[in-house]
Structure 1
Amino acid sequence: MTEIQEKFGAVSKQYDSQRQYLIPCFNDFYHSCLPFIKTVTNAKTILDLGAGTGLFSQLVYEQNPHLQFTLADISAPMLSVAKERFDGLDNFKFIDLDFSNSDIPGKYDIIISSLAIHHLEDAHKQNLYNNVFKALNEGGLFINADQVTGRTMLFDSLYKYEWRETVSHSGLDHEALIQAFERTKLDKFAPLETQLKMLEEAGFTEVDCIYKNMNFAVFGGFKDANIETAVI
């Protein structure tokens, strides 16, 4: 986790400007879950785990400005950028949290995470999903926008090759590319199906993948959801 702190802290000021280069499916990846978040009509509180610069929270805030946001991250420089982003708003707070080996403080109606959990070993992923379930209020929603392995080794290799080729010709400067490729050494992807099962084992009864494009996937689950209360 120390290496993660160092590498992401070093790129904190440039992180947002590089996202659309490094995530070829950027718009769908970050926006596909918003209609589902909107269905939690009684939500008051939301936690962003591994919030980084607050990019994901920004998109949720634009749709749900009434929510009380808590942004948690292990990197102080990344959170510093998030604080600047939401400066002047009184419904945002920020906490320094290493969620790889800590309980989640507080209870929330919605918990989101993006491009953070794939840095954990599988056993720590399961432990985190257990903690997320405990930290959600009844009827709450968890969304994870992250990177996963392909279903087979062949597809996974093709996905990674295509990503590298795409970002190499995206217009991102050479130094940023080198840093991005170096950060991939910290990745510990797990299959989508494995993680859906982890969510079920944690206690989630309504679990699914909302969006997938090669290694990029958005998935999650509802806690004790009642389909009759859903907005359809």
Structure 2
Amino acid sequence: MNEIKEQFGNVSKRYDSQREFLIPCFQDFYTACMPLVRSLTHAKTALDIGAGTGLFSQFIHREKPDLKFTLLDVSGQMLNVAKERFEGESNFEYIELDFGKDALPGKYDLIISGLAIHHLEDADKAKLYKNIYKALNDGGLFINADQVAGRNLLFDSLYKYNWRETVTHSGLDHEALIQAFERTKLDKLAPLETQLHMLEKAGFNDVDCIYKNMNFVVFGGFKDENVETAVI
């Protein structure tokens, strides 16, 4: 996490301006979950894990401006940018915390994460999903917008090649490209199916992928303690 904290801290001021170059499906990626978010008619609290500059939270805030948001990240520099983004908003708080190791604070109706969990080893992903389940109120929703590995070497190689070619010709400046390619060395991608199964083992009853474009996916699940489900 120290290297992640350093690299993302260094790019914190330029992070948002590079997102649409580095995420070819940018708009769909951040908005595909909105029908599910709108279904949480009684939601009052939201937690953003690995919130960074608060980009994902901004999309949610536009949909549900009355939620009380907690933005959590390992990088204080990234959170400082988030504080600037939401300056003047009274319903935001910020916590610097290593979400891969530490327990999550509080209870929430909605928990989101964007492009953060893929930095964890698989065992730490599974542990975090259990912590997320515990931190959700009954009836709550978890949404993860992230990158995943392909189901096999062929598709994994195809996804990575396609992404590199796309961003190379996206118009992003050379220095930013080099830094982005360097950050991919921190990735610890796991297949989508593996992570859906992790959610089920954590206790989530209703789990699915709601959007997929190559290795960019949006998936998650609802917590309903009143429903019994068999974990395979």
1:78 matched residue in structure 2: 78
2:230 matched residue in structure 1: none
SS of residue in 2 equivalent to 1:93: strand
Question: Within 5 A, what are the aligned runs for 1:123-138?
Answer: 123-138=123-138
TM-score (norm: length of structure 2): 0.97
Q: Is 1:144–1:218's contact at 8 Å kept on the other side of the alignment?
A: yes
SS of residue in 1 equivalent to 2:99: coil
Which stretches in structure 1 are left out of the alignment for 5+ residues?
228-232
CA distance in 2, matches of 1:139, 1:226: 9
Q: How many pairs were matched up?
A: 227
- 2:178 is the counterpart of 1:178: yes
TM-score (norm: length of structure 1): 0.97
CA distance in 1, matches of 2:57, 2:213: 21
Superposed CA offset, 1:13-46 (max 9, x none): 0000000000001011110001111101110000
Q: Is 1:140–1:225's contact at 8 Å kept on the other side of the alignment?
A: no
CA distance in 2, matches of 1:110, 1:13: 27
- 2:90 is the counterpart of 1:87: no
CA distance in 1, matches of 2:36, 2:152: 29
CA distance in 2, matches of 1:148, 1:40: 26
2:202 matched residue in structure 1: 202
- 2:27 is the counterpart of 1:27: yes
2:18 matched residue in structure 1: 18
2:114 matched residue in structure 1: 114
Q: CA deviation at 1:87?
A: 0.5
Question: Within 5 A, what are the aligned runs for 1:152-167?
Answer: 152-167=152-167
Query: Percent of counterpart pairs with the same letter?
Result: 71
SS of residue in 2 equivalent to 1:37: helix
1:53 matched residue in structure 2: 53
Superposed CA offset, 1:185-226 (max 9, x none): 000000000000000000000000010001100000000088
Q: CA deviation at 1:7?
A: 0.2
Which amino acid is 1:89 matched to? E
Moved over 3 A (4+): none
- 2:101 is the counterpart of 1:104: no
CA distance in 2, matches of 1:106, 1:62: 23
CA distance in 2, matches of 1:34, 1:68: 17
Superposed CA offset, 1:34-92 (max 9, x none): 11111011100000000000000000000100100000001011000000000011000
CA RMSD of aligned residues (A): 1.1
Which amino acid is 2:216 matched to? F
CA distance in 2, matches of 1:59, 1:70: 14
Which amino acid is 2:114 matched to? S
CA distance in 2, matches of 1:226, 1:92: 31
Q: Is 1:5–1:74's contact at 8 Å kept on the other side of the alignment?
A: yes
Which amino acid is 2:189 matched to? F
CA distance in 2, matches of 1:226, 1:31: 29
1:230 matched residue in structure 2: none
Q: Is 1:53–1:80's contact at 8 Å kept on the other side of the alignment?
A: yes
1:223 matched residue in structure 2: 223
CA distance in 2, matches of 1:165, 1:51: 27
2:193 matched residue in structure 1: 193
Which amino acid is 1:62 matched to? R
